[in-house]
């Protein structure tokens, strides 16, 4: 494994951990969500969301050859959340 590949894997792992912790607590603490979803469904949904965000970030970083800025990451997150909210019922 090359050093660059190891660095990408480490970044992917760190991003996944950060986003999972952040989104899981936001979703879990929502009373509407707690009423309709089980703990396992919340975990699985959060992993799905986070994996999609992280994959998009990693693909864009690979394409442009640098780490994204916080603003660029925010744009990706909002784009994915908008896509999900338009294809499923949230609220």
How far is CA 24 from its chain centroid? 10
Rounded to two decimals, the pTM is: 0.85
Instruction: Identify the band that residue 87 occupies on the pLDDT scale cut at 50, 70 and 90.
Output: low
Q: Which long-range contacts (CB under 8 A, 24 or more apart) does 85-91 make?
A: 91/32
Q: Is 37 helix (H, G, I), strand (E, B) or coil?
A: coil
> How high is the pLDDT of residue 56?
97
Query: Is pLDDT larger for residue 86 or for residue 30?
Result: 30
Euclidean distance between CA atoms 84 and 69, whole angstroms: 23
Q: What is the pLDDT of residues 66-75, one digit of tens each?
A: 999 999 999 9
Q: What is the pLDDT of residues 10-64, one digit of tens each?
A: 999 999 999 999 999 998 899 998 899 999 999 999 999 999 999 999 999 999 9
């Amino acid at each position: 494994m090359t050093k660059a590949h190891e660095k990408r894997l480490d970044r992917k792992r760190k991003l996944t951990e950060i986003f999972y912790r952040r989104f899981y607590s936001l979703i879990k603490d929502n009373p509407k969500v707690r009423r309709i979803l089980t703990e396992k469904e919340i975990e699985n949904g959060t992993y799905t969301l986070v994996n999609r965000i992280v994959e998009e970030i990693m693909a864009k970083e690979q394409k442009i050859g640098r780490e994204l800025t916080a603003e660029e990451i925010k744009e990706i997150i909002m784009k994915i959340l908008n896509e999900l909210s338009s294809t499923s019922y949230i609220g």
